[in-house]
A and B are shown apart, each in its own frame.
Chain A
Amino acid sequence: MGVVESPGEPATQSDAASWFAPTFLLEESKLHPPPPRPGTVRRAALLDRLLASPDVPVVSIVAPPGYGKSALLTQWAGETPRGVAWVSIEREDNDPAVLLAYVAAALDRLQPIDLDVFHTRAPPGTSVAATVARRVAATLAGMADPVALVLDHTELLHNHQCRDAIAELAVHVPPTVQLVVASRGVPPAPLASLRARGAVVEIGADDLAMDEAEARLLLEGAGVELADTEVAELVRHTEGWPVGLYLASLAVKSGSRRSTAGFTFNGDDRLMADYLRTELLSRVPRGRVSFLTRTSVLERMCGPLCDAVVDGTRSGRLLEALEGSDLLLVPLDSRREWYRYHRLFQQLLRTELAQREAGVVVRLHSRAAAWCEANGLPEMAITHAQAAGDADQVARLVTDRALAAYAGGRLETVDRWFQWFDDHQLIEHYPSVAVLGAALRAFMGQAASAERWAAVAERASDGATLPDGSTMEIWRAQLRGFLCRKGLGQMRRDAEIARDGLAPGSQWRASALLMEGVSWLLDGEPERADPILLQAVEVGLDFGAAPAVAAALAERAIVAIERGEWGDAETLADQGLAILRDGHLDDYGPGAIVHAVVARTAAHRGDVSRARESLGHAARLRPQLTYAVPFLAVQTLLELGRAYLALADAAGARVVLREAGAILRRRPDLGRLPREAEELRSTLDTLRVGSVGASSLTTAELRLVPLLSTHLSFREIGERLHVSRHTVKTQAISIYRKLGVSSRSEAIERVQAIGLLGQ
């Protein structure tokens, strides 16, 4: 055996990455402010205030709906000399990978940036806030001209990772940059500390409330003339609430008796709904009311979609007409193809729908789901199918999309799709979802739910076909192989079944070959393992299964090390590393074995700094290594142990050995791994303890490190990790001590220096 050929030309390399890093289609309309509408009042005072504070890092705009936050920001975007990168947040952005993609795209539209740094994989339960914020801040700092990043509708963000990332960014905004955050409620930014530093301009409801002059302009824009006293009265009654003023103007135009009463925002939706019904909907022809309420189930709408939902034919024209006449509709693009309702009215229309025709809601969602699926919008279809309770359709769509979304790094999104089945106790009925979900959860480090779902998949009778064309039977074998619950021999048998039975085009064959090869390696037969591992590399490259390729290269490197061919080993390990880099798999948990082997070969060569760097990278990934994929986790930990040993770091070696031991207690039948662990332990006994430093951070502590690197308090960190504040404090103290620091800021510096936070 010689050195393996380098895996082909650059073109092949990017093919290798291609399957595992597909992007999703960005919704272009989110990257622009809503198109301005005629008659909108220019908010002179507020604009002056904003334009006069160019050096303030953060702008926070918080007000209930209908105060014109987006309108103000749109006007400001048009008048500021800064380049404005705009993102209108929607529900799908509750996934760091998605949010980051939109931020990247928004910045890229201003000035070409390095998009590579914006790839992230954030398994649920981890925290990427600190790294994401750093990357965005670094990119912003590197932009030639002053930039503003505008995030509108941040009230829709409830995912902790996303909110924390924006909050961290708010604290680390580079000079010449402004971060603008608009929200209905508490914005994702630490306002108190920003306020204390004078680092934020805050605009609230009081500021956005209109005065008499602005009210008059608004009324004039709506074609309404009132006497001064009446305007004053109106402003007093509505308390300057722009939407209230607008509704009043409509009422005046229609001659309603409530013309001067106006309407004030007092947070009471029932009153508002009542007002809407009498003042707005009553002026609308009956058929059109039904159109409005029924289409309110849609987050975004176009003519054909509305036709499908209301079972009509001229929705496109209707939407155009509606958009011209009042504030109800917000166009999403300049071609006037897609719209959404103003959120305030959408809420009310939905309430109205629930009151008038509650029974029809499910059917509307069903129609929407069917149209979306038929028109190439599967993920929108999932949302509607879930609302319709159509589990069959959800299962079909999720099975179809999950792998691609997972490959693209949208782990929170995938997790939410799967979670829906758990929340509704449906998983028993959808074994194909169970088998897929179990595999992905295992790789995300969610051992308990992976096992639970695997059990469901086992119990099911055969039937479904998986998206790669393989049968359930084969996929179950593949899953059994990953989980390796019944020992090495069974894993080999399962891998062989999968290898032979996977559909011809399946990207998973490489993983099956990998498992087969590893099973021989762990049985002490490296000569049988190596050719199979080589095949795994080749098949994986053909089908673009980057993770399997990288892992197989690492395993081949281990074989080379056993033969004493350290040079070959290092080459193989480096190739594995390149595959990970090209595939944006830096944060990929199962890739830790590559880093472990790089560390070993570097240590052997005496390149201590490279070894330490790889060990730091692997440490960052350790929280994702669980008993879910036990052979990979234990192998990785043992390789790390050997690397630590090579660096005479007994404490570090012991920590990873302990963790390997914990997994071995659950999965003892892993060939020679238990014996190897024992031998390593004995070797360690001959070493002096030495000092207990950064390498002895436990996996629990490593899980805490990314959160410690944010501005969250210990209590808030405890909430994220579901532990008490006391536990967080105790673990933090242990981390400080092992790092040799005495403060949180020093700890953050240290972990960055040793590579525990990633780039």
Chain B
Amino acid sequence: MKAEHEDLLRRLALNDEDVLASLLGPEVADAEPGALDAKTAALVGLAGLIALESAPATYQWSVTRALAAGASDGEVVGVLVALAPIVGIARVNSAAPEVALAIGCDLDLPATRERPVNSR
């Protein structure tokens, strides 16, 4: 595999914003900015990710963006709470530890210990 592809795969796994942005097609990337302020947009994005059940790196990126846009820790956790009845508690259970880490609380639950990846 070319080194550039290895680099791409790593950056994807990191949820590198620039690389991901470059993958978006024009219909998404060139969209008009909406009426939502940066903070609300970030929190809404986080909600979507929880609903989709995303990778830890993606949750992290999203929470960091929300905090950078001025969200408080309470608001970030509030998204989890608001989503629970809609997406179900299982989704929230799996997202909570990663969100916690992103706002600086290491819950260090057994579930967050390394899950072995199926490999050859």
Contact = CB atoms under 8 A, between A and B. Distances in A.
A and B touch in the complex (CB under 8 A): yes
Interface of A: 650-651, 654-655, 658, 681, 684-685, 688-689, 691-692, 696, 698, 700, 723-727, 729-731, 733-734, 736-738, 740, 742-743
Given A723-B108, A726-B112, A730-B98, 20 more contacts: A654-B70, A655-B68, A658-B73, A688-B38, A689-B38, A689-B68, A698-B104, A700-B106, A723-B106, A725-B113, A726-B113, A727-B108, A730-B57, A733-B57, A734-B57, A734-B64, A734-B102, A737-B15, A740-B16, A742-B16
Interface in B102-118: 102, 104, 106, 108, 112-114
Nearest to A736: B14
Given A689-B38, A727-B108, A651 B60 contact: no
Contact of B64 (A685, A696, A726): A696
Contacts of B17: 691-692, 737
13 contacts: A688-B38, A689-B68, A692-B17, A696-B64, A696-B68, A698-B104, A724-B112, A730-B56, A730-B57, A730-B98, A733-B57, A742-B14, A743-B10
Contacts of B14: 733, 736-737, 742
Contacts of B61: 737
Contacts of B112: 724, 726-727
Contacts of A742: 7, 10-11, 14, 16
A685 to B, nearest CB: 6
Nearest to B13: A733
Contacts of A650: 68
Nearest to B14: A737
Contacts of A658: 67, 73
A740 B64 contact: no
Contacts of B96: none
A689 B65 contact: yes
Interface string B1-31: 0000001001101111110000000000000
A725 B114 contact: yes
Contacts of B56: 730, 733
Nearest to A737: B14
B70 to A, nearest CB: 6
B101 interface: yes
Contacts of B73: 658
Nearest to A651: B68
B87 interface: no
Contacts of A692: 17, 64-65, 68
Contact of A700 (B15, B70, B104, B113): B104
Contacts of B51: none
A654 B106 contact: no
B76 to A, nearest CB: 11
Contacts of B13: 733
A293 to B, nearest CB: 48
Nearest to A681: B70
Nearest to B69: A689
A196 B22 CA distance: 39
A729 B117 CA distance: 14
Nearest to A729: B114
A730 B15 CA distance: 12
